[in-house]
Every structure is written in structure tokens, then in C-alpha cells.
Amino acid sequence: ALYTEPSQLPHLTYDYVIVGAGTAGNVIASRLSENSLYSILVLEAGISAEDDLATIVPLLIPTLPPNSPHDWNYTITPQSGLDGRAFPYRRGRLLGGSSTINFMIHQYGSSEDFDKIAEITNDVGWKWDSLKQHIEKHEKIVPPADGHNTSSQYVPAIHSTNGIMPVSLAGRSQSIDARVIATTKEMPHDFPFNKDMGGGDVLGLGWIQSSIGGGKRSSSATSYLAAAINRPNVHVLINAQVTKLLHTGSLSAVPSFRAVQFARKPGAPQTVVKARKEIILSAGSIGTPQILLLSGIGPKAELQALNIPVVVDNPSVGQNLSDHIWVPNNYKVRDEDSLDDFFRDPLRFSSAMKEWHARKTGIFAGGITNNLGFFRLPSNASIFSTTRDPASGLNSAHWEMVVANFYLNYKPGVVEPVNGSYMTIQSALISSTSRGAVKLISADPFAHPLINPNYLTTPFDIFTMREAVKATKRFVSADAWRDYIESPVGGVVGTEDADIDAYVRDQALSMLHATGTASISPKGASWGVVEPDLKVKGVDGVRIVDASILPFPPSAHTQGPVYLIAERASQLIVGENLQAELDFHFRTDWVVELQAFLSSSAARMYRFCQDIPIMSN
Ligand SMILES: Cc1cc2nc3c(=O)[nH]c(=O)nc-3n(C[C@H](O)[C@H](O)[C@H](O)COP(=O)(O)OP(=O)(O)OC[C@H]3O[C@@H](n4cnc5c(N)ncnc54)[C@H](O)[C@@H]3O)c2cc1C
């Protein structure tokens, strides 16, 4: 059931309390609630926007304005690597979290990314060969909205048609598609064709898969949560911003956190709910470290400076913020079909909207791009004489290219051209090595934290962006574009490396792929925030499941990896419960078992009211 006010909650104690009904949180809620014996509460700070067309109609997403109620409306700190610029940093603040406002590109990353996580954590369960089993439950490949033949555009064998979330290939064809593919044939060394990036092999250029099904966005809310919300053991409360986790005692001298405090808005009454088994933090790469810090779990000196009582001194909380960053390379083109005219023409816009309403097809049924590719620097690139290759392996990317058939530039203050047709090639940094941090600005839980991604502050990052921009120039020099591109628009001024660097620092924006602020680490390591099983280090009762646990930026847009991580986390949690129950049964004689069986329903009722003491912190 969905509740909007704390007073509507039927209980104040649940088996599991999940913080954040976002991409990962809804996976956990859905999978755990498949067992009707577990009671689950999901607390979401944001709203439900299930009828909001901007979050349903795929191509309306570029029109969703900043400063909307769907968004946390963060701003990052001024970036020394970007000429001191600061800009909005979007995160979904609604059911589905960022999966409800993202650009729907859907893939998982390189197999080596996950193999590297397995190596870092000494946990083979994170290896790609193990993790990819979850694709079967997650993904449901459906035909694209225009029903075109996709046989040359993906490899069905590495996908699933049985999962919970509809995913499809591009829902409308674009005039540039054939030129992109022709370029892979003309320049196969620089831009090889990759028929499918969804199976762990990401390198090359090919067709995009999107979290779109039947012409509508698929989010964790429309898939996982929709499947679970009517189960009697699932309660979801929106407008509930968690202000901290409460220290409730200790287990074998390890501090326990088994209660969550939340409020609707600043000054509103605080409500406390208790978790009998576990709290799952799924508040995302910004929200999760913020909540840990507010709860006294974080760097001691930082917490003390804000008069937050320190329960667990962990210097890694909020550190290691990593992200992908991109620059637009805009070109003026000869094209009647670019989306520029479409967005400017109210008649075409409304007739396409009518088509979408009638049949869920047409321009609006597709995403913002049909093609993307992942690439590496040459192995003899000069940067490798001073910097170790940060990619997860030889089949993982350093940079990415996304091709869109309209003028795309979100830099604040940029005015879109009022006429003409355009194409944009986004050059993005993937294996970034700059690391930033999320820190509290005050002990006020409603104050936005300081978000400093520290972009482009390493020689590797600026080198790779420079090479990615140069590669774009090579790409558009192919014959395939000769009669199409008129001229670059607002691009690099000059021909020197320094000119490209200046352009990159002036133009770069975030891909909004924040990761790493509650990083996974080897069991018992002195660094990192969670153990390989995602339990918070030095804490009893809390697990983290979201993008924050990724130790480094993957070769992917980040929703796919988050879905796989959340599926595995659900399996770990359920598995631990089964193990605990088995242990219990093997230890007891039949009389005790019978008693347990007979009293289980009564016990569940009782445990709803059970009191978990709360320490002051
Ligand atoms: C505009 C945009 C475009 C993107 N485009 C793509 C794309 O095309 N493809 C792709 O793969 N990735 C994309 N991403 C990134 C991807 O969507 C995210 O990496 C991923 O969804 C993160 O999942 P998560 O579970 O970690 O966090 P989220 O999905 O953000 O979920 C966190 C949830 O926790 C809630 N929350 C936070 N703090 C609190 C609190 N204190 N109390 C209660 N609730 C709280 C939030 O409101 C939110 O619902 C994009 C992101 C954005 C913002």
C-alpha cells in the first residue's frame, strides 16, 4: 500500500526498513516481499509522480525543467577543473528515484568491471559470470515501439525476455542512424561496430538499449514497485525524508542501528520506525552518505566539527565520489528530420503527442539517442608512461561517444539556436580518476550536503577528454558525413591541445553517474564503507544497496549496474535469512520446532509491537 502521511502507517516496526524508493530500493522491496513472511516499509523523501507525463513519455524527458519537484535540485561546488564553474546536479526525488528522471540508456558495463570488484573484495559472487544470472530476472526485452526488425541490432542470446523490467531497442529511426553505422564500416579500426554492449563486451559503437517498453519509460517504480505495492506485506510512505538512523544498542560490542527517524519537512514532527531484521540504505550516492554522516557514522573530525556525536569513526564515508563527465560537440547539419525543428514546431509536437496517446508510438516513444559507443585510448598513449591504466581491463572503456540528432547542450546560460538543424556527439570520460566527496554543511538534515566531484583534476582525465574530442573530429571526417555536416558550432577554438583543454574545461557537464561514496571493500579492510556483503563496516543492522557502493566508475551508464547489484543484494539478504532459519531448525528438537510453528503468527503480531530501545545520539 502507498501512504502519504506517517499517521497512516499501520505499524511502527517492520522486518526491513528500506530508505529510498529509488532504482535500487524498489528492487529490494520487490524481491524481499516475494516472501510474505517479511514485513517491509519503504521510506521515500519525494513524491509519487505516476501520472506525470514528463516521467512516462520517453522523449519528454529533455523538457523536464530543472528545479522541479521531481528533483533534489542540488548544485555542485565550484569546480577548479572546470574554470570554477558550479552547476545543478540532478537526482530523482520521487518513486523510482533517478530511474524515473534519467535518460533511459540501459546497459551493465564491462565484464571486467565486475571481475575487478570481485578481485577487490575477494568475493567471487561479484564476478560477471555470477552476476549476469540476474539479467534473467531483471530484464524483459520487448519489441521497439516502431516494431522494426532488430535482428542486426542486438544479440538475443545474451538477453532475457522473462525479467520484470521492459527494455527495448530504439523506438524510432533517425536520419543519422545509417550514417553512424556506415562510419563503423568506413573506419573499423577507430570505430568498430559492436552488435551488443549488453553482455559484458562494451567496446565499439552500436545500437542503444533503453529502459523503455511499449513506448513508455520503464523505471524501478513502474516495474519492481508496481509488482510489489499491492502485496499486504509492503508499505511505502512518500514525503518521508529520513533524518538519521538511530543508535539502538550493541551486538557483541558493535553498535546497532535498528531504528530510522524521518520527517515530512523542516520543523515537522519526527517519526521513528524500527527494523527487526535490517535497515537497507538505498538513498543513492548523495543521500546515503548524508544519512550515514547525520547518524554519527563517518570521519570523526568532520562530525565533531558539526557537533554530531560520533558512533563509528569511518573516514571513508562520503569520500571517493566518482562520476562521468561529457562535452557536447555540436554540428550544424542538413537534415529535415533532426529533432530541433520538431521541438520548435507546436503543430508537429502536438500531433506526435496525439499519436503517442493513441498508440504509444511515434517520435515521443523513443529516447534521445539511438547509437553510442565505448572506446579505449591507444595502448601506446603517452599518458600511460606516467599513469597506470585505470580501466578495469583491456576490454573496458576509457571514453564514450553518444550521437544525438539535435542540439544538445545543457550548460547553464546556453541559448539553443532558434533555427537550423543540428547533430550532437557527446564525448564522455568513462574511466575517470578524479575523486571528490560528499560532506555535510551542517547538522541540519534538510540542508543540502556539499557535493564536490572534483572533476578533471588529474592529468589522465584531461588527457582522455582531449583524446575523446579529437576522436569526434576523426569520426565526422568520414565520408558518411560529407553531404550532411555543414560546420561545427561553438566548438574548440584553435588547433592546439591547450585549445581543446580550454574547451573541455569550459563546456564539460556531468553525466549524473555519481558513484563510490560508500564504497565496497575487502572484508575487514581498514578502508571502505561496506563489506563485500554490503553490510556497513563496524555497524550492526544496516546494509547499503545503491550506486554509492561501486568502488570506481563502471564502463556503463549506471542504472544497469545498480539493478544487478540490487538483485544480488536481495539474493544475499534472502539467503542469509534462509541460512539463519536452517541453523535454527537444526539446533532444535521437534518440540521446540512445533512450538515455533504454532506461535509464529502470534509472534509476528507481537513483534510488530516489540520495543527496540533507542540510545541517544
Ligand atoms: C537526469 C539523469 C539522467 C541519467 N541518465 C541515465 C541514463 O540514461 N542511463 C543510466 O544508466 N543512468 C542514468 N543516470 C544515472 C542513474 O539513473 C543512477 O545512477 C541510478 O538511477 C542511481 O540509482 P540509486 O538507487 O543509487 O539512486 P536513486 O535512484 O537516485 O534513488 C535514491 C532514492 O532515495 C531517495 N532518498 C534520498 N535521500 C533520502 C532521504 N534522506 N530519505 C528518504 N529518501 C531519500 C531519493 O529521493 C531517491 O528516490 C541518470 C541520472 C540522472 C539524474
CB 113 within 8 A of CB 392: yes
Question: Ligand 1: which of 558, 564, 567, 568 to mutate, most ligand atoms within 8 Å of CB?
Answer: 558
Each residue of 140-177: pLDDT tens digit? 999 999 999 999 999 999 999 999 999 999 999 999 99
Least confident of 162-171, 255-264, 507-516, 601-610: 601-610
- What is the set of active-site residues? 513, 557
What are φ and ψ of residue 80, in 5° steps? -65, -30
How many helices, marked H, and strands, marked E, lie in the chain?
Answer: 15, 27
User: Domain boundaries in the chain?
Assistant: 167-217+325-431+457-507
Q: What separation in Å is there between the alpha carbon of 284 and the centre of ligand 1?
A: 6
Q: For the segment 63-120, what is each residue's pLDDT rounded down to a tens digit? A: 777 778 999 999 999 999 999 999 999 999 999 999 999 999 999 999 999 999 999 9
Q: Pick from 270, 273, 268, 318: which is nearest to 293 by CA?
A: 318
Q: Are 274 and 297 in contact (CB under 8 A)?
A: no
The CATH number given to 167-217+325-431+457-507 is 3.30.560.10
- What integer pLDDT is reported at residue 470 of this predicted model? 97
Q: How many CB atoms lie within 10 A of CB 447?
A: 12
For atom 20 of ligand 1, the residue with the nearest CA is 559
The residue whose CB lies within 8 Å of the most ligand 1 atoms, and thus the one to mutate among 60, 74, 98, 197, is 98
Over residues 490-527, the pLDDT tens digits come to 988 888 999 999 999 999 999 999 999 999 999 999 99
Task: Tell me the C-alpha distance between 55 and 52, whole Å.
Answer: 6
Residue 271 CB: number of other CB atoms within 10 A?
A: 19
Q: Which residue has the cell 567496446?
A: 203
pLDDT digits (tens, 9 = 90+) for 566-594: 999 999 999 988 777 767 666 655 556 55
Cβ(217) – ligand 1 distance below 6 Å: no
Q: Please compute the mean of the pLDDT values over residues 551-561 and round it to a whole number.
A: 98
CA 163–ligand 1 middle distance (angstroms): 21
Grid cell locating 66: 530543472
Sign of torsion over alpha carbons 566, 572, 575, 581: negative
Cβ atoms of residues 367 and 341 within 8 Å: no
